[in-house]
Structure 1
Amino acid sequence: MTELTNLQYLTGFGNQHSSESRSGALPIGRNSPQRAPHGLYAELLSGSAFTAPRADNQRTWLYRCRPSVVVGGYQPLPHAFWKSGAAEGEGAPPDPLRWGPTPLASDGDFIDGLRTYAVNGEAGVGGMGALAYVVTRPMQRRALVNADAEMLIVPQQGRLLVTTELGRLEVAPGSIALLPRGMAFKVDPLDQGPARGYVCENHGAGLRLPELGPIGSNGLANARDFEAPTAWHEQEAGAYEIVKRYGGQLWRATQGHSPFNVVAWHGNLVPYRYDTARFMTINTVSFDHPDPSIFTVLTSPSDTPGWANVDFVIFPPRWMVAEDTFRPPWYHRNVMSEFMGLVLGQYDAKPEGFKPGGASLHNSYVPHGPDAEAFDKASAAELKPHKLDATLAFMFETRWPLKPTRWALDEAPLERNYADCWRDLKDASKA
């Protein structure tokens, strides 16, 4: 197993960071000197157009043993379960959908273990994909480059070691990893037994911290709690398979050296990890259940203010104190589409039916809300302060309807009788 005791991190979302794993490898006063220190190659990775406003401009300078151009020709790599864009989804009725936990029986690495639940938009242009992963073995001499999208990894079971061009991150359930578009990485399990979790493949604007508005300068996710890796480069020689996600398809090539050969770097286009336990939850202290937008960790904005390409929202442990209020989420039909997953514990609107490792999809204007059991319990509960504890649910919320894939409809553990959870809600006109 990889030695992890020397992992160190830099802090601050969106900050200009710099790091080197060999003293003197980072040029001073020049981004691309005529001769980079130690004979390294200077290479720029851009996450935005060159002329983007300074506040929105994302790029990182890499100083590496060999540049990324040293790679063989690419050939198609079939993958039956990783889909991108609305064209690869299936037509489905406007029904609520729910799946049981993703089975742990599959055998493969992170790439092999990806399964797409639902998609919208178009790869590389906009929209998102909601995926599950099951990992049983390391990627070894294999790396992934997603040129279509950034990837948000939400572990549900088992710790992961995420190796990137800029360094390594250890990510456990309760934490997330955000990997920039176009950056090579690999994901390896750290614990015995399969690792399982979720992925948001974001084809739109890069995820960022939401504006706080009337909340003020503090609250929700704090920039300083996001951790970026320090420089680390692989010194073991040997060939690597490079798998690239490009144009909604997978391609593979072989190169004779590791892509993780960056000795020094500086910039603000970096991978992050974030511990959701550091999220400053804001909730009502008077009455009514507030909109779930107050639980937004990261947002990918669209060209319409407030109507996000995708929001990443969490429902962590929190106190419930509202008076004269139905405390679980109300019944609603939302303009946004909601893909949910459960990392641990129970979700208060579905105390028994929604299981860790499972998922649900409530598309735009599909009615949903607490099941009959949750409604009856919350309607009769004594409204004293109560803490929802040992729980963590999340939501990928998106402006476009999500189209489930053939795997999600035919092979995943789809609960065909999900809608029955509302069957016992009483007719108030007969009360």
Structure 2
Amino acid sequence: MSSSHTTERRYQSGFGNEYATEAVAGALPQGRNSPQRAPFDLYPELISGTAFTAPRHENRRSWVYRRQPSVVAGRYKPYAQASWRTGGDREVAVPPEPMRWHPAPLPANVADIDFVDGVHTLAANGDADAQLGIAVHMYLAGRSMEKRAFVNADGEILFVPQQGRLVITSEMGVLEVKPGEIALVPRGVVFKVALPDGPSRGYLCENYGAQFRLPELGPIGSNGLANARDFQAPVAAYEHEGEVAYELVKKFGGRFWTAPTSHSPFNVVAWHGNLSPVKYDTVNFMTIGSISFDHPDPSIFTVLTSPSDTPGTANCDFVIFPPRWLVMENTFRPPWYHRNVMSEFMGLVYGEYDAKPGGFKPGGASLHNAMVPHGPDEEAFDKASHMDLKPQKLDNTLAFMFESRYRFIPTEAALNSPVLDDDYADCWAGLKDQFKPA
């Protein structure tokens, strides 16, 4: 296995497929999962992403065949990572107003910070032990993880890179992810992150609830939005070194722990199943829009959804706003003014977001909690109210949203951050009363 960015990657296609892959021919057992002796004397190990008795269409698990089992590790000791928080802190007083953060600058010592130490939580909700809610983080890092690995026992992680590529080496193989692409690593799967472009920044969604899945298409039909075939899973790969010391950092119950291992955790020679990291290029997203009038609901831009126990009311929806045509007639084309029962965290990967063309920068973030009014700023309103409504292409843009039924609680660090935009509300101050009765 190599994490070099010069390596040509091979992938398997599909989302939630029954994948089967081997780095050495004959390493996968045939006709059974756990033979008395596995090929090449490998150790069979099952990774269950759902309960054993979850419905078949929701069940996620993979069998891996590795040189040493995961139980071979030293004793865990506490590890300090105070900037990565879990769940919402109910003691924090969250103002009922829109909030925005400018892009966080890379720290002066970024070359010394790897992915694990570079994660900073902006906001969170829910409870990891109750398996509901999400946390939203930024990562600011400049050093690749070498003989160091990470495993999150609290939730799956959705990566949205904004600056710099990521090479994510997992037990199942290697994914290379550039800005404009996303990656999803299941809960409990060990991985490490290399930074081939040096200092890097991006967004993370840590999902404690039901696993992300493709949304139902309803009247859209059998095709559209993110198609399963465009997701890519890794092929089996393993590190060829024998006994090599690794540090394993684990997030467990909101706390961090570290243990030494005498071997690489990336020692899986073959695996099969439907639990795997995947990546997806957002340029493949098939956008749906109105071709007559009105701006449709942003749910038509949903890439992945984590359902809750209330149908249609998601634990988390991951929504993107990619390049697209606007052709609606007699219509105010940007997203309308809105108060939503859902809470909305938004980020910008590149370009401009059409409802906030000036103050919202790539790498920044905004938060509109449940029933907090929001919508186009004064500049966007004036432009959209007077523009010539000819077909318009929104290009070179990629914004996204983590939308949750639960209220986001920003961390104390986020509320006191120097990049918090204290003047955010001023972007609506110029919206005057224009009522002119006949």
AA matched with 2:250: K
**Contact 1:88/1:405 (8 A) holds in 2:** no
Unaligned runs of 5+ in 2: none
AA paired with 2:165?
Answer: R
State the Cα deviation string for residues 292-323 of structure 1 (Å, max 9, x = none): 00000000000000000000000000000000
Which residue does the alignment assign to 2:351?
345
Partner of residue 204, structure 1 = 209
TM superposition score normalised by structure 1: 0.98
CA distance in 2 between partners of 1:202 and 1:5 (Å): 31
Secondary structure of 1:224 counterpart: helix
**Displacement of 1:426:** 1.0
- Equivalent position to 1:292, from 290, 293, 298: 298
After superposition, where does 1:12-161 map in structure 2 within 5 Å? Answer: 12-87=14-89, 90-105=92-107, 106-107=109-110, 108-124=113-129, 125-161=131-167
Q: Which amino acid aligns with 1:333?
A: R
Could you tell me which amino acid in structure 1 is paired with residue 251 of structure 2? R
Residue in 2 that maps onto 1:326: 332
Match of 2:257 among 251, 254, 257: 251
Change in CA separation of 1:66 and 1:89 when aligned onto 2, cut-off 3 Å: farther
User: What is the identity, as a one-letter code, of the residue corresponding to 1:86?
Assistant: G
In the alignment, which residue of structure 2 is the partner of 1:232?
237
Distance 2:391 2:8 in 1: 43
Quote the Cα distance in structure 1 between the aligned partners of 2:276 and 2:114.
24
SS of corresponding position for 1:131: strand
Q: How far off is 1:153 after superposition? A: 0.2
Of 362, 366, 376, which residue of structure 2 is paired with 1:360? 366
Alignment pair present for 1:179 and 2:185: yes
The answer to whether the Cα contact below 8 Å between 1:10 and 1:230 also exists between their aligned partners in 2 is yes
CA–CA distance in structure 2, aligned partners of residues 231 and 31 of structure 1 = 17
- The one-letter amino acid of 1:93's match is P
Question: 8 Å contact 1:345–1:390 — kept in the other structure?
Answer: yes
Residue 346 of structure 1 aligns to a residue whose secondary structure is coil
Contact 2:88-2:410 at 8 Å conserved across structures: no
1:201 and 1:149 map into 2 onto residues whose CA distance is: 6
Q: Write the distance in 2 (CA, Å) between the matches of 1:426 and 1:100.
A: 26
Indicate the SS of the match to 1:376: helix
Does the 8 Å contact 1:91/1:404 carry over to 2? no
Q: What is the aligned partner in structure 1 of residue 378 from structure 2? A: 372
SS of 2:435 mapped into structure 1: helix
Does structure 1 retain, via aligned residues, the 8 Å contact 2:5–2:167? no
Which 4+ runs in 1 deviate beyond 4 A?
A: none
Give the superposition deviation at 1:370: 0.3
Structure 1 regions of 5+ residues with no counterpart?
A: none
Partners of 1:90 and 1:392 in 2: how far apart? 31
Specify the SS of the correspondent of 2:123: strand
Task: Return the offset for 1:6.
Answer: 3.5
Superposition deviation, residue 79 in structure 1: 1.2
Alignment of 1:382-401 (within 5 A): 382-401=388-407
Give the TM-score of the pair, scaled to structure 2.
0.96
Determine the C-alpha separation between the residues in 2 that align with 1:392 and 1:114.
22
Contact 1:142–1:241 at 8 Å: present in 2 too? yes
Q: How far apart in 2 are the matches of 1:178 and 1:401?
A: 23
Amino acid at match of 1:29: G
Amino acid corresponding to residue 79 of structure 2 in structure 1: L
1:90 shift after superposition:
2.3
Residue range with higher mean Cα deviation, 240-249 or 293-302: 240-249
Q: CA deviation at 1:54?
A: 1.1
TM-superposed deviation, 1:3: 5.4
Find the aligned partners of 1:429 and 1:19 in 2 and give their Cα distance: 65
Is 2:5–2:196's contact at 8 Å kept on the other side of the alignment? no
Partner Cα separation in structure 1 for residue 303 and residue 332 of structure 2? 25
**Pairwise CA RMSD:** 1.2
Cα shift at 1:104:
1.1
Instruction: Write the distance in 2 (CA, Å) between the matches of 1:111 and 1:5.
Output: 24
Counterpart position of 1:213: 218
| Number of residue pairs matched by the alignment | 430
Question: Conserved in 2, the CA contact under 8 Å of 1:288 and 1:326?
Answer: yes
**C-alpha contact 1:98 1:360 (8 A) present in aligned 2:** yes
| C-alpha displacement of 1:4 | 4.0
Q: Which amino acid aligns with 1:116?
A: T
Q: CA deviation at 1:78?
A: 1.4
Deviation readout 1:335-386 (Å, 9 max, x if unpaired): 0000000000000000010000000000000000000000000000000000
CA distance in 2, matches of 1:294, 1:89: 35
1:312 aligns with: 318
* Cα 1:224–1:206 shift into 2, 3 Å: same
Q: Distance in 2 between matches of 1:372 and 1:366?
A: 18
Q: Kindly tell me: are residues 115 and 44 of structure 1, through their superposed partners in 2, closer, same or farther at Cα, counting changes over 3 Å?
A: same
Counterpart contact for 1:232–1:263, Cα < 8 Å? yes
Partners of 2:194 and 2:415 lie apart in 1 by 28
Percent same amino acid at aligned positions? 64
